[in-house]
Chain A
Amino acid sequence: DAGVTQSPTHLIKTRGQQVTLRCSPKSGHDTVSWYQQALGQGPQFIFQYYEEEERQRGNFPDRFSGHQFPNYSSELNVNALLLGDSALYLCASSLYGEDEAFFGQGTRLTVV
């Protein structure tokens, strides 16, 4: 079992560009949650996907959007990147209705 896998591991983008991050959940999990972790801070919830729909959303602008595919994998898209979007983006997978979550290694995004 590969656990939760995220790609890419590191990414550098220019302000104003768009970025797509990817997450494959742990085998058997159907729910994917995305978190943003700024340097020195705890992760902040972005949104959660289940059954290919956004189920919950944190306090993030519409520039942050996502998608979940039939195989439960998920993408996080950020448009019109700002310097402040530089962070570690974490994906967590779980089984819907269950409390246990598993985390990926994260994608470190640097916006220059």
Chain B
Amino acid sequence: KNEVEQSPQNLTAQEGEFITINCSYSVGISALHWLQQHPGGGIVSLFMLSSGKKKHGRLIATINIQEKHSSLHITASHPRDSAVYICAVLFLNTDKLIFGTGTRLQVFP
């Protein structure tokens, strides 16, 4: 069964802290997306990964294909990073994304 699990569901941090959000999935994938959703709903694509590691500014995403696990890291977190972060997976032989339930991050000054 194609399943995606994220942890934690909720995360609070002080400004400047290092943040890690985890995503696990059940079977083989062709790609994994990390998405950011702010209040109001719009979704922004942060990364698309099929292997290895990607970095953009203070954001780093890694994926371990063998362990079926991906992490999103935020270095030097800032209150503007407060949002819901969603992992979405494109399983092999399908064209539809399966989403995790999201991680709600709040960063306090």
B90 touches A99 (CB 8 A): yes
Q: What total of chain B residues lie within 8 Å of the partner, measured CB to CB? A: 25
The complex places the Cα of A35 from the Cα of B100 at a distance, in Å, of 13
Cβ contacts under 8 Å, A37 to chain B: 41
Cross-chain pairs A/B with CB under 8 angstroms, 19 sampled: A35-B97, A40-B101, A42-B99, A42-B100, A45-B96, A45-B98, A55-B95, A56-B94, A56-B96, A99-B31, A99-B48, A102-B45, A103-B35, A103-B44, A104-B43, A105-B40, A105-B41, A105-B42, A108-B41
A100 interface contact, C-beta 8 A: yes
Q: What total of chain A residues lie within 8 Å of the partner, measured CB to CB? A: 26
B43 touches A33 (CB 8 A): no
The complex places the Cα of A41 from the Cα of B58 at a distance, in Å, of 26
B63 interface contact, C-beta 8 A: no
B30 interface contact, C-beta 8 A: yes
The complex places the Cα of A105 from the Cα of B98 at a distance, in Å, of 18
Beyond A101-B45, A102-B45, A105-B41, is A92–B94 a contact (Cβ under 8 Å)? no
CB-nearest residue of chain B to A40:
B101
Which residues of A pack against B, CB within 8 Å? Answer: 31, 33, 35, 37, 40-45, 48, 55-56, 58, 88, 90, 92, 99-106, 108
Interface of B is mostly: strand
B97 touches A33 (CB 8 A): yes
The complex places the Cα of A43 from the Cα of B88 at a distance, in Å, of 9
Q: C-beta contact mask, B82-109 vs A, less than 8 Å → 1, else 0?
A: 0000101010001111111110000000
Q: C-beta contact mask, B11-55 vs A, less than 8 Å → 1, else 0?
A: 000000000000000000011010100001111110010100000
CB-nearest residue of chain B to A108:
B41
Beyond A42-B102, A103-B35, is A90–B96 a contact (Cβ under 8 Å)? no
